[in-house]
Chains A and B, each alone.
Chain A
Amino acid sequence: MEGLLYLENGSVYRGKGFGAPGSNVGELVFNTSMTGYQGILTDPSYMGQIINMTYPLIGNYGVSEVDNQSGGIHAFGFVTRDITFRPSNRMSVMSINEWLEQQGVPGIYNVDTRAITKKIRTEGTIKCVISNEGISVGQAKDMIGKTELRTDYMREAGVRERAICKGVAGEGQNDRSRGAGLRIAVLDFGIKRNIISGLTDRGCEVTMYPYGTTAEEILALNPDGLFLSNGPGDPEACGLGVKTTRELLGRLPIFGICMGHQVIALAAGGRTYKLKFGHRGANHGVIDLETGKSAITSQNHSFAVDKDSITVKDMVVTHLNLNDGTVEGMRHKTLPVFSVQYHPEGSPGPNDSQYLFDRFVKMVREYKK
């Protein structure tokens, strides 16, 4: 099976195919994590995107039954330098090849993923076609022309209807008494399971709400706090999420991660903008301006919050990316609202910022009193 990656700018990369036969158009991004491909592929934030892994050896420890971050793979395609057909790990139930096949996702390997990464670095995230069913470059070009990339996947990446979430038993250990009795409403734009675990492991009762849920609907069940999740797409396409959030500012303690963070910025009257090629990986340093301490973070985002646009709207920048100085966290000057751009839940990535869940739980607890 021949693999093809065709970029909108005309670049062609040929390799071998794996996973499910197919051809998809998506936005080509790269991820620099050396571990955790299973969590990455199942992160709903990758919906509409084709992931190029910078680490060349993928699939080493196979696919387990416990590492999915959602119901299945959301990415539209997977590009690697090399894959392992005979994985080795006690938790492995199948190989990455079998898994992509089962999930209907096309993959290609044996391509120069570093060259692709550098292309994205210099030209920005780019529209592309991934195919492993032998289509020609001409056909790929046609597909690209005919397909419009969507920016509003957050509208469908989360739950379709309200759901009480008992939480998935995480492998981590946390003190459940901290959040016991607290009811958290989650506005779901495509949440990762480990974020839910971050709340339920601390004893919180979590109710998930689909995109489009209004402030009244959320308040009707009298929650103690609101969580805004991560999710795919452009925050500006998340109109209803922004509206609901705006209405709840000051009425509930709010914590947002990633898309949730951007939605808070928009709800507060700020702006977001698209980064050239985003941040995707598990190694960026982020400094907490309020403690002066830094943490290594897991990241997955294309958009960022415009710093100047929020500081005039009663928001305080609390975290900055040490590499490019982009906003990584903020809080409201007076209201119990804070958010981070990065992923404190890791999965994959460091657990250094798990404390933010505690901070949220504590904030909700105090607000409740």
Chain B
Amino acid sequence: MPKCENLKKVLMIGSGPIIIGQAAEFDYAGTQACKAIREEGIECVLVNSNPATIMTDEGIADKVYMEPLTEEALEAIIAKERPEGVLAGFGGQTGLNLAMELEGKGVFAKYGAVLLGVNRDSIRRAEDRDEFKTLMREIGEPVPGSIIATEMEACRAFVAEVGYPVIIRPAYTLGGTGGGIATNDEELNTLVTSGIENSAIGQILLEESVAGWKEIEYEVMRDAKDNCITVCGMENFDPVGVHTGDSIVVAPIQTLRDFEYQMLRDAALKIIRSLDIEGGCNVQFALDPETSNYIVIEVNPRVSRSSALASKAAGYPIAKLAAKIALGYSLDELKNYVTGETSACFEPTLDYCVVKFPKWPFDKFKTASRRLGTQMKATGEVMSISRTFESALLKAITSLEIKLEGLRVPSIMKLADEALIAKIEARDDERIFAIAEAMRRGRERSGTDPRFTRDAIFELTKVDRWFLSKVDRIVKMEQTLARAKGKLNAEIIYEAEEIGFTDNEILELSGAKREVLLDIRAVNDIYPVYKMVDTCGGEFEALTPYYYSCFDAEDETRVSDEKKILIVGSGPIRIGQGIEFDYCCVRGVWAIKEFGYEAIIINNNPETVSTDFDTSDKLYFEALHIDDVMNVIKKERPQGIILQFGGQTSLNLAEELDRRGINILGTSFESIDLAEDREKTTEFLAGLGIQTPPGASVTTKEAAFEAVGRLGYPLVVRPSYVIGGRAMQVVYTDHELLEYLTEAVSLSDEHPVLIDKYILGKEIEVDAISDGTDILIPGIMEHVERTGVHSGDSISVYPPHTIPQSVQDTLVDYTNRITRGLGVVGLVNVQYAWDGKDVYVIEVNPRASRTVPIISKVTGVPMVRLAIAAMLGYPLKDSGFGTGLYPSKNLTAVKVPVFSGAKLTDVDIALGPEMKSTGEVLGVDTTFEKACYKGFLASGVHIPLEGSFYVRLKDPDKNAASLEVVRAYAKEGFSILSHGGTLTYLQENEIDVAEASAKEAKTMIAEGKITIVLDVPTVANNPGTDSFEVRRYAIERNLPVLTCVDTAEAFLLALRMKKHGDQPDYRSLEEYVRR
């Protein structure tokens, strides 16, 4: 029984929006924790501003407050709800920092609540660098020489003593924001300054660098009885120097002798005990491979990205158990949920190898520095499981969806020797491929080139020789296949498969025909088998149906006789394809079960709820590659497969699956193709009498300029088949167009470039469910920013507040006709533009969208469930929700995007057609103004009430509307600053404005004089320009940087609410929806 008998109601703090360093893993952890609390009959109240999450959906917590994660909001909610306990260890650094503040101010005590699982002292000792070091020294654990600094002088003195390199780590930040390794005075200056600024307490740790040592992590758990276990030890492929979030991570630990393993395990246990943590904790070590000396790098006194990974890698639900411990249970009282029989007080043993590979956003941020360091840059990750490291690595690469299925990257293979070595030294996201090429050259030269031996590459990278040997084994297999030209046989194929080669790789390397490979495969029965993740290496029988593929003798899947449906997941979190698709997959699973089918999911993202061991009836942890999906289908023989929930990832499989005769449930491949092919769509819509922006599809530059002649500027240009508006741009001149074409066409050879007339107006999004006959539109969302800003980056509002009823009627009519005409069954998302006169269709997405979870939550219409019902043939009209446009709820919801702008240096934060945000929050209230205020609050943007307003406008924005906005800021007491053309324009229009050059502006930003920046660039993504510099400078200093006049207008509403309005009223989502 729980120790804390008095707990009747517990409040849980979520992690808020997804940003780099704090992603879907907290939805996973929080969802588990909510479920664990409710299982005990305790009421769970959740506060989280992130609308895309599963945890904020119905059925997870008893009550959801989709309110900003601020002290004020939390206090108001606690005062209202009066929980006996508060769980703060599941909301990442955000939740923890907030809880620290509230505890420090005595808020919990004031309302009779206690902080469960963590206490303020332990958080402080773990997170405050100075206190942590003192504690480590007290318990005899080694820490590197270091100082805590709040200013530059002390840092210079420290370096004078210990020399370079040194590491700068800001205290209390996410994903190591502002940290880095300095090897000279200049770098020291930059990093120390940004580190101090990024720290919540203006403090950094400057320490001796142990770069090059092995980086090892342990996930540790402890209960109130002081029982301690390590759930999983993990080893980074990349030695110390690369943030663990940006490292390839392997589980279990591979290269430590038992003595070293136990030495670090002992230390990890000692540390969690000394911190008195009850729950989960992550301890990172650096181990010197030359001496086995080690140091403690850091501790996360909460569940984390690593604990999510460890949970999935080991099959041990850390968050669930941490929640149980927080409620008072001890480990020995709890069961291993995977075996159902044995104790939770044990250490999982793996009989497979797990590889985690980060997913970076560099394909979107072409100007970003790809160099990896102590600041995390990845937006997501994939995990793969296999019986060999080689296979797990190659599966992970395939799962990344970077058009690679192996270690051969043509651009790297073309590099000259010196350039290759330089590439390896640059330590960027492609290093492993460069290492592979070096090993390849070593082999090709039969080991005679001393630059490309295993030892030489080790010296260059400090990547353990064991890992290098494994890479070498893959390279060796490439050569074997190349030599097998025409003589491909079963033995070679099996061996290649065993270490993870895909069919495409085998074919490409061997030059064999696909039929030959398939024949050999069929005759010799060379197919993968599936093995179970069971926490115990097969020692006990396990209940959980969690499988991975491998090439081995025995298959242990238990295929049932039930009717079953397979859902294809959405893979790693990336910009443009985030957690919302996991939401849809999970809701899909629940609905499938509800309709009496067995629900099977295939996915590879370790951070998500969809890959939790008890979400689906069966989980296949696999790459979302056609071969892997087909293998699962071959094994399970599902009645149908659902592709519309996994975003573009799953949708992209439609053609291949259709060709193989697989039953795609819902919208057919023909319809998907019709919607995805611009030319076909335009033709189709024209047939319905619906306008699209006039445009052309071109494959050559000549054709492009010919189109310009017809359409005129401005134009929207983009490649076909896009995710998140990748490589999309508004161009105003020939020069811009030419520059774009040179880049975009090389980006996408197979698909033509689309050139559309840019429609200036309102952008509106409609999500609908269709059963083939009727549609239901639960809600319409209107964008605040005008067309040209990616829908993912726009502030959007439900219900629309400036769209006339007649236009809304048109939208419903159009959506109805499009949906029927296309033959959509399930979900569809249509994006419209309205220029004040006409309605145009910009995009039709025959799949789930970013807005599905938002609309589902604010309207109470279970969109995914209805979509599944429609796919299974249940008519919408019987659903109880009606058809047509669902009546608007008496509330306003404002979605505000959240950017990780401060994390990626050299990236422009200006809004444009290319999506840049990593997450979003929802502000919900009774009016647009109030909801807008809450939205901005929740997004973490600082809302200043005074200071200077620095403004620069692009030419098309120099108009009356913009002047109104600037005047309004002046009226609120802001002094206006500007320069260049904007200055003249403002002066001409009699606005009281002072001049500040870009340089002066930067100084004033640093001095805290300028508090808001409105800078609308003509061309974004142009590092080196004045305005780029100012935007970067301001964003890195946490200023609100507005890059669209419409945003500035909305921000003004929030600012006014803050200044003149009452304190917001905080209510549960249910209270708003039920009004």
Show the binding face of A for B, using Cβ within 8 Å.
Answer: 13, 30, 32-36, 38-39, 54-57, 60-61, 64, 66-67, 81-82, 84, 86-91, 111-115, 117-118, 121, 171, 281-285, 287, 292-296, 322-324, 346-352
Contacts and interface: CB of A to CB of B under 8 A. Distances in A.
B258 A348 contact: yes
Interface in B1031-1070: none
A30 B256 contact: no
A173 to B, nearest CB: 10
Given A91-B257, A322-B332, A323-B342, A30 B539 contact: yes
A36 B263 CA distance: 13
Nearest to B352: A56
Contacts of B258: 33, 35-36, 38-39, 67, 346-349
A322 B227 CA distance: 13
Interface stretch (B61-69, B162-170, B464-472, B752-760): B464-472
B257 to A, nearest CB: 5
A60 B255 contact: yes
Most buried by A among B262, B291, B348, B353: B262
A322 B346 contact: yes
Among B228, B256, B349, B556, the most chain A Cβ lie within 10 Å of the Cβ of: B349
A61 B349 contact: no
Contacts of A84: 466, 469
Given A32-B536, A287-B332, A114 B351 contact: yes
Contact of B554 (A115, A295, A349): A115
Contacts of B552: 81, 112, 114-115
Interface residues of B, number: 57
Contacts of A87: 466
Contacts of B265: 350
A88 B290 contact: no
Contact of A13 (B464, B553, B556): B553
Interface string B338-364: 000111011111111100000000000
Contacts of A281: 349, 537, 539
Contacts of A67: 257-259
A287 B554 CA distance: 35
B345 A86 contact: no
A157 B993 CA distance: 93
Nearest to B232: A34
Contact of B254 (A60, A282, A294, A349): A60
A55 B265 CA distance: 19
B289 interface: yes
Nearest to B263: A171
A53 to B, nearest CB: 9
Contact of A32 (B229, B537, B553, B554): B537
Contacts of A30: 537-539
Given A67-B258, A171-B259, A322-B343, A54 B387 contact: no
B918 to A, nearest CB: 35
Contacts of A88: 255, 464-466, 469
Contacts of A293: 225-227
Given A55-B351, A114-B552, A323 B343 contact: yes
Given A56-B388, A115-B553, A351-B262, A296 B257 contact: no
Given A55-B537, A86-B469, A294-B345, A61 B256 contact: yes
A114 B551 CA distance: 12
Contacts of A61: 255-257, 466
Contacts of A351: 262, 266
A66 B292 CA distance: 14
B886 interface: no
A39 B262 CA distance: 13
Contacts of B621: none
Nearest to A111: B553
Given A55-B351, A86-B469, A88-B255, A35 B261 contact: yes
Contact of A294 (B227, B389, B541): B227
B346 A283 contact: yes
Contacts of B331: 285, 294
B567 to A, nearest CB: 27
Nearest to B388: A82
Contacts of B343: 285, 322-323
Nearest to B254: A60
B538 A118 contact: yes
Contacts of A346: 258, 262
Contacts of B388: 56-57, 81-82
Contacts of B228: 352
B256 A35 contact: yes
Taking each of A115, A346, A347, which has the highest tally of chain B beta carbons within 10 Å of its own beta carbon? A115
Contacts of A294: 225, 227, 330-332, 345
Q: Interface on chain A toward B: helix, strand, loop, or mixed SS?
A: loop
Given A322-B342, A350-B266, 17 more contacts: A33-B258, A34-B252, A54-B351, A60-B254, A61-B255, A61-B466, A81-B351, A81-B552, A82-B387, A86-B466, A88-B464, A283-B346, A293-B226, A296-B345, A296-B347, A323-B346, A323-B540
A81 B259 CA distance: 23
B466 A113 contact: no
- From A54, A91, A117, A348, residue with most partner B Cβ within 10 Å: A54
A114 B350 contact: no
13 contacts: A54-B349, A54-B351, A54-B537, A57-B254, A67-B259, A89-B255, A90-B291, A90-B292, A121-B539, A171-B259, A283-B536, A346-B262, A351-B266
Which of B292, B352, B537 counts the most chain A CB atoms within 10 A? B537
Interface string B223-258: 001111110000000000000000000001111111
A279 B256 CA distance: 24
B618 interface: no
A30 B539 CA distance: 8
Nearest to A346: B262
A294 B226 CA distance: 8
A117 to B, nearest CB: 4
A138 B469 CA distance: 38
Given A32-B349, A39-B258, A323-B343, A285 B332 contact: yes
Contacts of B347: 282-283, 296, 350
B239 to A, nearest CB: 13
Contacts of A13: 553
Contact of B349 (A33, A285, A292, A322): A33
Contacts of A64: 257
A282 B252 CA distance: 14
Contacts of A81: 351, 387-388, 552
A111 B498 CA distance: 12
Contacts of B253: 34-35
- Best-buried of A13, A55, A64, A87 by chain B (most CB within 10 Å): A55
Pick from A287, A294, A347 the residue with the most CB of B within 10 Å.
A294
B669 to A, nearest CB: 38
Contacts of B536: 32, 283
Contacts of B330: 294
Interface string B74-112: 000000000000000000000000000000000000000
A283 to B, nearest CB: 4
A32 B539 contact: yes
A168 to B, nearest CB: 13
Q: Which one of A60, A111, A171, A292 has the greatest number of beta carbons of chain B within 10 Å? A: A60
A352 B332 CA distance: 15
Contact of B538 (A35, A121, A296): A121
Contacts of B349: 32-34, 54-55, 281-283
B930 interface: no
Contacts of B762: none
Centre residue among B256, B257, B537 by max chain A CB count within 10 A = B257
A94 B341 CA distance: 41
For B332, B539, B553, the residue with the greatest tally of chain A CB atoms inside 10 Å of its CB is B539
Contacts of B257: 35-36, 38, 61, 64, 67, 89, 91
A60 B537 contact: no
